Structure 1
Amino acid sequence: MDSPYRRELEVALRVIEQAARLSQAVLPDTDKGAVEKEDNLGPVTIGDFAIQALLTCSLHAAFPDDLFVGEEDASALRSDPVLCDRVWTTLQRTVDTSPPSPGDCVVVLPSSPEDMCDAIDRCQNAPGIGRVWVFDPIDGTKTFLRREMYAINVALLVDGQQTVSVVACPLLSPEEAAENKDAVITNDSVDPTGRGSLLFAVKGHGAYVRPLFESKGRVGAAAEITPNIQNTKDTPRRLAPAVASQPLRPVTCYFLQESALDDVHRGVAERLGVAFPGSDLLGWVPRWASLAMGRANTTIWVYRRRDRHAKIWDHAGAMLLFAETGGIVTDVDGRPIDLLAGRNLKNNFGFVAAPTVEAHAAVLKAVRDVLREQGRLDLLGGN
């Protein structure tokens, strides 16, 4: 991939492979050290803490002047020495810091438990102008606890624009659909080959997918990322652009999130005449990955209240994968997503994503019409 962000992509690919290896080591554990967050927005596990520390240390070593934004903070680790030791031990026993070959990007571990906590807390920034890395160490922690679909999200924003995206989905098959082209992804879908998917994109250069693991449970060496190399089964495959004639196929999260208006989501599907719920996934990053891979091609999200907003780490970068296949993403008001708004995307309300400009206009109209029909004028703003 001939891009000025080639090194950023190479470093991110290398470290996310090790993060995926770590997550797979933790996945079988019955006790993943889960604790509830202080904001009551779900659990956090030793996998979340360890991966955020790994991502931060490695990318900070490569790009020391960049800022970092991540979902987790280390307060639970600082107050619980036993939990802190479990996270530290997990990093030491699962991460391979030796480069696969001379000259490859280096993975960096924290130097001590205190350094590990400091690295996690280095991600408490708000996004702003300049270069900012955004991490979701495990998106779909609730499903991760059940050994179901989850993802690791790494994004580089430059002046608030999605520039580099790297997403690991260790349980998602890299094939579009080997036998059934209408196959949908659900939370309990697990790649039968154990290889998982690694998706990546650089703005203006397309989106790609390749297997994450060489074989079950083993992380592959960093792959060549030039798009015109010989096509082998492990060669990155450029994700195909959307075709206007394709029927709409939704991905959503049905009756799993208290923040959602499920009746509106169902009403929009009925108005558009599409199957519902279609692909049903808890995590937003796997949803964006499924859209980019063509396993679905549209999604909407309407919160119960106008003062409820998305978190930047659930969307930044992962949305770029879909955009690089031609997908259109706005909020329910038809506005572009403002990634400079803060850790909470307070300048936007919900999401509407569709494969083409024409399809997006139709879906957006359906969303707003259903809100009017269901008497939710309080949720209509903008257009």
Structure 2
Amino acid sequence: MESQNKLLLASAEPEEYSKELEVAVRAVQMACMLCQRVQESLVSNGNDQFQSKDDNSLVTIADWSVQATVSWVLSQSFGSKNVSIVAEKDVRALSKADAGELLEAVVKTVNECLAEAPRFGLKIPVMAFGTTEVLEAISGCNSTRGPTGRFWVLNPVDGTLGFVHGDPYAVVLALIEDGEPVLGVLGCPNYPMKKEWLSFQNGYRRIISKLTQPTPESWDKGCVIYARRGSGKAWMQPLLHREKKFVWPNTGRPIHVSSIDNPSLATFCEAVEKSNSSHSFTSGLAHSVGLRNQPLHVNSMVKYAAIARGDAEIFMKFARAGNKEKIWDHAAGVVIIQEAGGVVTDAGGHPLDFSKGSYLEGLDRGIIACAGVKLHDKIIRAIDASWGSSCL
């Protein structure tokens, strides 16, 4: 009898990281809503509200607004003293004297988003945020990283060019503990729920979305994909419609990587933007292993989402000389693909190391994500055979 009681008590205990995952999904759903509204306003008013970063990519109002919103949600849920966040965006650009108009727009966007917190099962702030509160929330994402302890990793808008042009981009949140990602959430507002819509250009999808009534499974709503380590499952749910309230667990459904292990039948993800990776080498490599399908062109961490839910089977990235991979560009995707049944390593077959700070130090040549072990092994062997001629 005593053993039965212990068994019942054990089964009633919450699963590890379940609370953290729930809060993370709520936060990313809110952030996706925020991004969609900013994007709609930019499309209607013009896109003059963009700033250039030191690395020449674009930074939008959405970047800073998402960072402030997610930072506040995590701090309210777990206590500010218990939350450490590493985020991509630097608050200094918003603190300059000539950034007043931009900061004002960010404050307005954050307050509009937080006013709808009850729809996501969260409390509204006692008072509306001013510039001080917004800057504090953004600057609070300056965690010291290391091999021990836990911290959150946030990329507010991954794939800013996709955001600007209405193509797929991602809101990315992960939790790292003792150097390993333990949960990940990918919010993909412009990535359709249904695979068959991927063959249509995004501009056409946007036009059709204005003419059709959205449903829980409509492609135009985008999706949120998430997983936690050790569960053996990854899930996908539609973005929350404006009139709906978020309920956990939501209308999520399990996803799994593709079962294709024949390279001639496989599809690989290729970045639209060529500046951060070698297209010539990945294209040649794909041909050498027998890949014949047209690649799936998509930027940002949406590539991880594509592999996890079976839209493609292979993702390869080989950084150009001088570029280093950042942890917020991979942490969430790694745990999601792994729990969906896939494999992610560097080009030497080693696990990615998230314990060395903001960058993936010690990376062997590049990153390989595959739907299964057989495909992964074939890619690794092909890399070894052709690396000498890569000029990378």
Q: Same fold (TM over 0.5)?
A: yes
Instruction: Work out the CA distance in 2 between the residues paired with 1:190 and 1:140.
Output: 19
Cα pair distance change 1:56/1:287, threshold 3 Å: same
- Is structure 2 residue 43 aligned with structure 1 residue 44? no
- Residue aligned with 2:387, SS: helix
Of residues 330-339 and 132-141 in structure 1, the stretch that sits farther from structure 2 once superposed is 330-339
1:264 to 266, 277, 281: 281
- Residue aligned with 2:357, SS: coil
Work out whether residues 64 and 106 of structure 2, in 8 Å CA contact, stay in contact via their aligned partners in 1. yes
Partner of 2:251: 235
- Residue aligned with 2:248, SS: coil
Partner of 1:164: 183
Partner of 1:173: 192
1:22 positional shift:
0.8
Partner of 1:229: none
Amino acid at match of 1:269: A
- Is structure 2 residue 249 aligned with structure 1 residue 222? no
Work out whether residues 240 and 246 of structure 2, in 8 Å CA contact, stay in contact via their aligned partners in 1. no
Cα pair distance change 1:84/1:209, threshold 3 Å: same
1:245 positional shift:
4.2
1:185 positional shift:
8.2
Cα pair distance change 1:313/1:32, threshold 3 Å: farther
Instruction: Work out the CA distance in 1 between the residues paired with 2:380 and 2:37.
Output: 42
- Residue aligned with 1:353, SS: strand
| Structure 1 spans left out of the alignment, 5+ residues | 226-233
1:186 positional shift:
7.2
1:187 positional shift:
6.7
Partner of 1:315: 330
2:305 to 289, 294, 301: 289
Instruction: Work out the CA distance in 2 between the residues paired with 1:268 and 1:333.
Output: 15
1:112 positional shift:
2.3
2:377 to 352, 361, 364: 361
Cα pair distance change 1:219/1:360, threshold 3 Å: farther
Partner of 2:132: 114
Amino acid at match of 2:366: G
- Deviations, residues 103-143 of structure 1 (Å, cap 9, x unaligned): x3446597321221122122233432212111111111111
- Residue aligned with 1:177, SS: helix
Amino acid at match of 1:13: V
Cα pair distance change 1:267/1:92, threshold 3 Å: same
Instruction: Work out the CA distance in 1 between the residues paired with 2:200 and 2:369.
Output: 17
Partner of 2:353: 338
Instruction: Work out the CA distance in 1 between the residues paired with 2:259 and 2:124.
Output: 39
Cα pair distance change 1:145/1:100, threshold 3 Å: closer
Cα pair distance change 1:304/1:241, threshold 3 Å: closer
Partner of 1:82: 101
Cα pair distance change 1:326/1:88, threshold 3 Å: same
1:223 positional shift:
3.2
Instruction: Provide the TM-score with structure 1 as the length reference.
Output: 0.85
Work out whether residues 21 and 219 of structure 1, in 8 Å CA contact, stay in contact via their aligned partners in 2. no
Instruction: Work out the CA distance in 2 between the residues paired with 1:309 and 1:187.
Output: 30
1:97 positional shift:
4.2
Cα pair distance change 1:145/1:244, threshold 3 Å: closer
1:146 to 165, 175, 189: 165
Cα pair distance change 1:2/1:363, threshold 3 Å: farther
1:22 to 31, 34, 46: 34
Instruction: Work out the CA distance in 2 between the residues paired with 1:370 and 1:38.
Output: 34
Cα pair distance change 1:45/1:137, threshold 3 Å: same
Amino acid at match of 1:24: Q
- Residue aligned with 2:196, SS: coil
1:23 positional shift:
0.5
Partner of 2:75: 60
Instruction: Work out the CA distance in 1 between the residues paired with 2:382 and 2:201.
Output: 25
Instruction: Work out the CA distance in 2 between the residues paired with 1:26 and 1:235.
Output: 25
Question: % of aligned pairs identical?
Answer: 26
Instruction: Work out the CA distance in 1 between the residues paired with 2:175 and 2:27.
Output: 14
Partner of 1:370: 386
Q: CA RMSD in A?
A: 2.4
Amino acid at match of 2:137: A
- Is structure 2 residue 239 aligned with structure 1 residue 212? yes
Cα pair distance change 1:159/1:219, threshold 3 Å: farther
Count of matched residue pairs: 355
Amino acid at match of 1:336: P
- Is structure 2 residue 89 aligned with structure 1 residue 72? yes
1:336 positional shift:
1.0
Partner of 2:223: 197
Instruction: Work out the CA distance in 2 between the residues paired with 1:2 and 1:359.
Output: 36
| Structure 2 spans left out of the alignment, 5+ residues | 1-12, 210-217
Work out whether residues 300 and 350 of structure 1, in 8 Å CA contact, stay in contact via their aligned partners in 2. yes
Cα pair distance change 1:248/1:69, threshold 3 Å: same
Instruction: Provide the TM-score with structure 2 as the length reference.
Output: 0.83
Instruction: Work out the CA distance in 2 between the residues paired with 1:133 and 1:207.
Output: 19
Instruction: Work out the CA distance in 1 between the residues paired with 2:277 and 2:378.
Output: 21
